[in-house]
């Protein structure tokens, strides 16, 4: 059997440890995500969803436990190895688009490819083909401020997929949109994820959206439980 794309083993994470204002957020969180699996993450506000996603995406390190991506243990790997794995294997989408305001939609999608060593013409061609897929071919030259909220978020999806990651980590990817737009934009995200066959861990407060995923994990009292 192929390695899981993401394996979280007994993750522990706290802030201000050993001090009076200590907060223990993760207390042994474990999960396995198989290739191609799309998993929802439901957590009450403040339960540690962002902390978990940052550790899973190698943006932060756990106090204890292991994170393996595509079979490689990364929790205690060098910064250089973690950055290389993150760039090659992981895409991120947040609640707010975080697009660079002075760049066009296509340029925003080209940036991570250039950082990963692509040549500009190829990066721009891939940006255009991703924009085609999300119905924004005609918006390639628009700056983020000239796009609607739903369009900005669709560009952010393209940027997350620019380097063809194997794992998408999304933190309330449509949480900033009105319900109708959220539904339509979420459908675009799911189509992109399913078409590429990538795995995804998608945090949402929306139970209807969570119901469209293969399964759902809940983060409760610092551990992950099947929903
Ligand atoms: N740098 C930090 N220093 C101290 N406490 C922190 C820090 N970052 C997060 N926390 C605390 O850890 C807990 C989990 O935070 P986290 O941002 O992971 O929650 P969340 O589930 O993503 O919340 P929300 O859904 O409201 O965004 C919270 O109680 C938060 O106050």
**pLDDT bucket at 206, cuts 50 / 70 / 90:** confident
Residue 93: exposed, middle, or buried by beta-carbon count in 10 A (0-12, 13-18, 19+)? buried
Question: Which SS3 state, helix, strand or coil, does residue 186 take?
Answer: helix
Domains belonging to the chain, first-starting first, are: 6-226 (3.40.50.300)
Q: Which atom of ligand 1 approaches the CA of 52 most closely? A: 18
Q: Which atom of ligand 1 approaches the CA of 172 most closely? A: 25
**pLDDT bucket at 18, cuts 50 / 70 / 90:** confident
User: For residue 31, what pLDDT is reported?
Assistant: 97
The dihedrals phi and psi of 140, each to the nearest 5 degrees, come to -55, -35
Residue 146: count of CB within 10 angstroms of its CB: 12
Ligand 1: centre distance to CA 50 (Å):
7
As a whole number of angstroms, the distance between CA 40 and CA 207 comes to 9
> Under 8 Å CB-to-CB from 113, ≥6 apart: which residues?
122, 123, 126, 127, 162, 163
The dihedrals phi and psi of 40, each to the nearest 5 degrees, come to -85, 155
Q: Which two tokens stand for residue 200?
A: 């995804």
**pLDDT bucket at 219, cuts 50 / 70 / 90:** very high
101-106, long-range: CB < 8 A, 24+ apart: 101/143, 101/144, 101/145, 102/143, 103/143, 104/140, 104/141, 104/142, 104/143, 105/131, 105/136, 105/139, 105/140, 105/141, 105/142, 105/143, 105/144, 105/147, 105/155, 105/158, 106/131, 106/140, 106/141
Rounded mean pLDDT of the chain? 94
pLDDT per position as a tens digit, 45-87:
899 999 999 999 999 999 999 999 999 999 999 999 999 999 9
* Residue 227 reports pLDDT greater than 90: no
Contact predicate 8/31, CB 8 Å: yes
- Asked if residue 135 has its Cβ within 6 Å of ligand 1, the reply is no
pLDDT (average), residues 21-49: 95
As a whole number of angstroms, the distance between CA 167 and CA 201 comes to 8
DSSP alpha helices (H): ranges in 45-178?
Answer: 49-56, 79-89, 105-115, 120-133, 149-161
ipTM of predicted assembly, 2 dp:
0.95
Q: Which two tokens stand for residue 143?
A: 């700056």
User: For residue 1, what pLDDT is reported?
Assistant: 57
pLDDT (average), residues 82-105: 94
As a whole number of angstroms, the distance between CA 42 and CA 115 comes to 32
pLDDT (average), residues 123-150: 95
Ligand 1: centre distance to CA 75 (Å):
20
Tell me which residue has its CA closest to atom 31 in ligand 1.
46
């Amino acid at each position: 059997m192929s390695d899981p794309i993401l394996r979280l083993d007994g993750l522990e994470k706290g802030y201000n440890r050993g001090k009076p204002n200590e907060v223990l957020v993760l207390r042994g969180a474990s999960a396995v995500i198989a290739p191609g699996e799309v998993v929802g993450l439901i957590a009450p506000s403040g339960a540690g969803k962002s902390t978990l996603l940052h550790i899973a995406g190698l943006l932060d390190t756990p106090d204890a436990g292991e994170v393996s991506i595509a079979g490689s243990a990364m929790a205690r790997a060098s910064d250089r190895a973690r950055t290389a794995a993150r760039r090659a294997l992981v895409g991120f989408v947040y609640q707010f688009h975080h697009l660079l305001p002075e760049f066009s939609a296509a340029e925003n999608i080209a940036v991570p490819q250039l950082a990963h060593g692509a040549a500009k013409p190829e990066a721009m061609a891939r940006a255009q083909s991703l924009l085609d897929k999300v119905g924004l071919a005609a918006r390639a030259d628009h700056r983020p401020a000239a796009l609607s909220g739903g369009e900005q978020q669709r560009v952010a999806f393209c940027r997350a997929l620019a380097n063809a990651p194997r794992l998408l980590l999304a933190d309330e990817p449509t949480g900033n949109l009105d319900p109708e737009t959220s539904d339509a934009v979420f459908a675009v995200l799911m189509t992109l994820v399913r078409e590429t066959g990538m795995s995804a861990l998608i945090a949402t407060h929306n139970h209807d959206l969570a119901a469209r995923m293969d399964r759902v994990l809940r983060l409760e009292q610092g551990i992950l439980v099947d929903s």
